[in-house]
Amino acid sequence: MKFRLAAFADEADGRIDGQIKAMTENGIELLEIRGVDGENISDISKEKAKEVRRKLDASGIGVWSVGSPYGKIGITEDFSAHLDRFKAGLELADILGAGHMRIFSFYVPSDDAESYRDEVMSRLEKLILAAKDSGVILCHENEKGIYGDMAKRCLDIHRTFPQLKAVFDPANFVQCGQDTIEAWEMLSPYVEYMHIKDALADGSVVPSGKGEGNIPYLLERYKGDVLTLEPHLSVFDGFDKLEGEEKTRMGYCYPTSRAAFDAAVNSLKEITEGI
């Protein structure tokens, strides 16, 4: 396979030990770190970050990116404290050995996003300046409800700040009603890496290649080498007790988080085998 796989392994297990186990057993050597032993990555201490780094190093796993929540606040919420948290997050990224950090472009009213453009750009500029000498590459993710949820506004962000790279998330675009091929044609020059998550037009998340994200098409054209699995597949505690037709009606649903994670890995490997 020509791609290196990373993963939001907290979708397999909330505990870092369980994440390492899931990644090792699936042959994944890179982590996009987001949740650690019940805490968001932005909330852990430096001591905890060092402990996590030791465990990952011992297992031969590297941190590809910090799956941070920075920029995932309302555009009218206080930014100064958020910026301070971001600066602390850069220190954690250094401890963890992460070369990337995903960020967002702030929640804005869906019917009036353009009115907040200047404030969005001002805040993004402050994040970029704070990270300038950190050695961390900031990557903007297209997320539902933020300024950069549609391709046109993502392009505006990247043209304004070419040093800010893109994390391309097909499912998020599908859920916003944005055609992913059109988005790719606009944003591919800025894409640093991809999140592998697929969705149907009704918004439901499905294994990669089973939705309307055009993931096989995108992977044929993707020039990078790292893909981060972010499955977001449904887990139903009583799934194992259902009978055949009942299971079919449940669609892509799994008995445990680990089973959902394994299914997501296998779906992606099936797609990439022929690329």
Angle at 60 between CA 57 and CA 62, to 5 degrees: 70
Chain-centroid distance of CA 210 in Å reads: 19
Bridge partners of 274, per DSSP, are: none
Q: Quick check: 123 pLDDT over 70?
A: yes
Q: What is the pLDDT of residues 134-184, one digit of tens each?
A: 999 999 999 999 999 999 999 999 999 999 999 999 999 999 999 999 999
Residues 6+ away with beta carbon under 8 Å from 256: 235
Residues 6+ apart with CB under 8 A from 25: none
Which structure tokens are listed for 60?
A: 């031969």
Q: Where are the alpha helices (DSSP H) in the chain?
A: 16-25, 46-58, 80-96, 117-130, 151-160, 170-175, 180-187, 215-221, 244-250, 257-272
Per-residue model confidence as pLDDT tens digits over 189-203: 999 999 999 999 999
Q: What is the mean pLDDT of residues 74-82?
A: 98
Euclidean distance between CA atoms 265 and 28, whole angstroms: 9
- DSSP annotation of 212 reads S
Domain 4-272 - what CATH class? alpha beta
- pLDDT reading at 128 higher than 60: yes
Rounded to whole angstroms, the Cα distance separating 207 from 253 reads 10
Q: What percent of the chain has pLDDT over 90?
A: 90
Domains of the chain, by residue range, sit at 4-272
User: By C-alpha distance, which of 129, 75, 78, 128 is closest to 105?
Assistant: 75
| pLDDT above 60 (res 221) | yes
